[in-house]
Each structure stands twice: as C-alpha cells, then as structure tokens.
A and B are shown apart, each in its own frame.
Chain A
Amino acid sequence: QSVLTQPPSVSGAPGQRVTISCTGSSSNIGAGYDVHWYQQLPGTAPKLLIYGNSNRPSGVPDRFSGSKSGTSASLAITGLQAEDEADYYCQSYDSSLRGGGVVFGGGTKLTVL
C-alpha cells in the first residue's frame, strides 16, 4: 500500500484531456512538500515529467501540466496522443517515514483508446 494513492488506470481517446490524481495526507502533500511526476513508457526507464508541482523540464510538451491543492496533486494531459500510453507515477516526501522519506505513488496506467 503506497503512502500516495493513485488510480490504477485511466483512459481517454486521442485528442481528449485526462487527469491523474495523487492523494496524500498531512504528512506529505498536505504538509506542503512538493510533488513530482514521472512517465514510464513500456519496457523503459522512468522519465521526469513534472517537478516542483508544476514545472516542466525542457523537452516535455506543454500538453503535460501539474497542480497541487491541499492533500492532493494532479497531472493533466491534454490533446492525448497514442505515444502518451504509459505508466505515470507521482513522488513526494513524507515526514512520518523513517529513513529517507522519499515516497512514490502506486502508479497509474494510461490507456489511449
């Protein structure tokens, strides 16, 4: 059971907009810690998509956007394309964990219909 909760799957047709939620608690997202998002295409390593809640690294299309409010964060993808089909993970810091405190969500599989 991940500290950050994501829906196991979402889907959308090409051109549509989808959102992926990442729900935390008062010891992580709700405490103000930033959320970062990663995309993992099938059979490949994860790739940074969003950092610091809403910042895009260079090279990431502006179809991808992130936001945070309260104890949750969201990743939005507009103009859905076939190549967006992948697993998406949120990541943050949790102050209640011993050790390093780095936590990932369980991941969400995006299917492009």
Chain B
Amino acid sequence: EVQLVESGGGLVQPGGSLRLSCAASGFTFSSYWMHWVRQAPGKGLVWVSRINSDGSSTSYADSVKGRFTISRDNAKNTLYLQMNSLRAEDTAVYYCARDPGYCTNGVCRYYYYYYYMDVWGKGTTVTVSS
C-alpha cells in the first residue's frame, strides 16, 4: 500500500526550531518529487516547498524562504522539513505529498509548471506559541 506518514510536529516557542519527517512506503520513493503543504486552523491549503527526486533542486514559498529547508534521504525513504525561526503564523497541519509528474504512455517527466499531488499523508500538527 502506498503510504506517507508524517511525524515530528509539536508545540514550539516563537523563534524555535522543529524538524518534520515523512516516511514513505509502498512505492519507489527515489523516483518521485515531493512537496510539503500546510493548512492553518480553519484555513485553506498553502504550498510550502518542493524537492526533486535526488534532492538537488528545491523551491520554497516566499513566506518560508530562508527559514525552512526541505531535504530527503532516499536510502531511508524519508522526506524532511527543517523549520527554523518559527512564527505564530507557521501554526498549521503540515502534509507531505507525492508528485507523480506528467505521465504519458507510462513515461513520467517533471516540468516546472506541472505540479500536483496524488498521495498525501495524514499530516502532523505544528503549534508555535509561547
């Protein structure tokens, strides 16, 4: 079964740090680009970050650039999100999600303008408060 399981959330003070993990199983993790998406309480989905399959390329939303770092360990089938200088507005449920790319005739490629998420984890909650 294809599965993503996030962990590492919790309560942290403003200015603090936290590292989220996302354990992948049931598919060849090293072949897929991955995303982090967050959802503040009662609010909508907001894209946070993306990483390519070998970890050599990353991108971030402006709101987290310079504070968050996405990374992956393909040997451990795990995606990470290192979050530093946390603010109250970072309080949210954080989801990791798989990006299947653009697939035709069984061949999948990635394009900078064609991102979507076909598998999502259940999320981990981050609360930033004093």
Contact = CB atoms under 8 A, between A and B. Distances in A.
B35 A102 contact: yes
Nearest to A46: B120
Given A99-B59, A100-B60, A34 B44 contact: no
B61 interface: yes
A102 B95 contact: no
Contacts of B47: 100, 102-104
Interface in B41-88: 44-47, 49-50, 59-62, 65
A74 interface: no
B67 to A, nearest CB: 13
Contacts of A87: 44
A51 to B, nearest CB: 5
Interface in B71-130: 95, 97, 102, 112-123
Interface stretch (A9-17, A76-84, A90-98): A90-98
Contacts of B50: 100, 102
B33 to A, nearest CB: 11
Contacts of A107: 44-45
A99 B120 contact: no
Contacts of B95: 45-46
B115 A100 contact: yes
A104 B120 contact: no
A24 interface: no
A101 B112 contact: yes
